[in-house]
């Protein structure tokens, strides 16, 4: 189990768990607009406006009550904030070594659905990073899936998920995503996606390397938890579970073996120069 309780909490967390399905608070501007419309349509009948307001408020209160996070969610949110803060500490130092400035990503916690810079998304999409707004999005219910559906429980498995998405932010800041069109001249869209994801796994390993070296946050078995998570969400494993066979050409994240290999490489070396998955011939 990661020693995380005493860690710093990140200031870059946008907690939208108590908001509506699109990440917008119940009531608000939409309610005011409707009240104005009703006022004019009813010929200035304030009674109708008041009745609408009270009904709307009652519905909003009920919806908000239904959306209130439970104590377990709060603990997971606290955990996520600590892990995000640790990635900030690691990448700030690593970027300084490159003579660059690290600009932290913001982590959006939500439930069910959320509005991102990349469009609407549901929890079914899993955790994701949006290059358009440079934010990562996490529905904490994914951790239940990681445990029950993927068989990869544990604090470090959860930390790996965040570190992987932060890895995409690092790629974005280093300009890797800007090279997409150039890369697609010599590889398919799926191959580009696989190499991008494997590099994010490598970067998650690099974070774990320095988190351990500098803060000794890991305990025996933690890395195995991360490796199980990486293996459980490999394309081949997921395809075997869903359809009973594997179609390698359709991979978008890499096989279980590839994901484990690149995470381990990042963790064991901590050397950013060894993470060029785009030039690697043997993934």
Tens of pLDDT along 225-273?
877 877 776 666 667 667 775 676 677 888 888 999 999 999 999 999 9
Segment 193-234, tens digit of pLDDT: 999 999 999 999 999 999 999 888 887 787 788 778 777 766
Confidence of residue 114 (pLDDT cuts 50, 70, 90): very high
Average pLDDT of the residues in 119-144: 90
Domain ranges (residues) in the chain:
29-67, 69-274
Contact 116, 130 (CB under 8 A): yes
pLDDT for 206 equals 97
Q: Which helix (H) or strand (E) holds 230?
A: helix 222-232
Query: Are the C-beta atoms of 158 and 240 separated by less than 8 Å?
Result: no
d(CA 93, CA 180): 27
- In this prediction, what percent of the chain has a pLDDT beyond 70? 76
pLDDT of residue 181: 80
DSSP assignment, residue 261?
A: H
Task: Name which residue leads in pLDDT, 60 or 213.
Answer: 213
User: DSSP letters of 59-107?
Assistant: HHHHHHHHHPPPHHHHHHHHHHHHHHHHHHHHHHHHHHHTT----PPEE
Cβ atoms of 246 and 236 within 8 Å: the answer is yes
- Predicted confidence at residue 186, as pLDDT, reads 86
pTM over the 0.85 mark: no
Nearest-5° Cα angle at 172, 170 to 173: 65
């Amino acid at each position: 189990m990661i020693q995380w309780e005493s860690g710093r909490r990140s200031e870059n967390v946008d907690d939208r768990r108590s908001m509506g399905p699109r990440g917008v608070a119940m009531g608000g501007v939409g309610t005011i607009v409707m009240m104005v419309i009703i006022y004019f349509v009813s010929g200035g009948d304030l009674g109708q406006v008041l009745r609408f307001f009270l009904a709307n408020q009652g519905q909003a209160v009920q919806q908000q009550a239904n959306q209130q996070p439970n104590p377990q969610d709060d603990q997971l949110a606290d955990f996520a904030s600590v892990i995000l803060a640790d990635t900030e500490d690691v990448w700030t130092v690593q970027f300084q070594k490159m003579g660059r400035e690290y600009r932290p990503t913001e982590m959006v916690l939500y439930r069910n659905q959320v509005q991102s810079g990349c469009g609407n998304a549901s929890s079914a999409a899993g955790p994701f990073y949006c290059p358009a707004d440079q934010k990562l999005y996490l529905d904490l219910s994914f951790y239940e899936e990681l445990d029950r559906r993927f068989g990869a429980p544990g604090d470090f498995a959860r930390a790996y998920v965040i570190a992987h998405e932060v890895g995409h932010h690092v790629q974005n800041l280093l300009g890797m995503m800007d090279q997409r069109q150039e890369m697609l001249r010599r590889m398919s869209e799926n191959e580009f996606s696989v190499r991008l994801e494997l590099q994010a796994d490598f970067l998650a390993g690099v974070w774990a390397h320095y988190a351990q070296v500098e803060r000794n946050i890991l305990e025996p078995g933690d890395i195995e938890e991360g490796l199980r998570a990486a293996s459980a969400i490999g394309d081949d494993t997921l395809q075997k579970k869903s359809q009973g066979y594997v179609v390698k050409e359709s991979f978008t994240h890499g096989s279980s073996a590839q994901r484990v290999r690149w995470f381990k490489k990042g963790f064991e070396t901590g050397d950013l120069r060894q993470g060029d998955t785009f030039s690697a011939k043997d993934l």
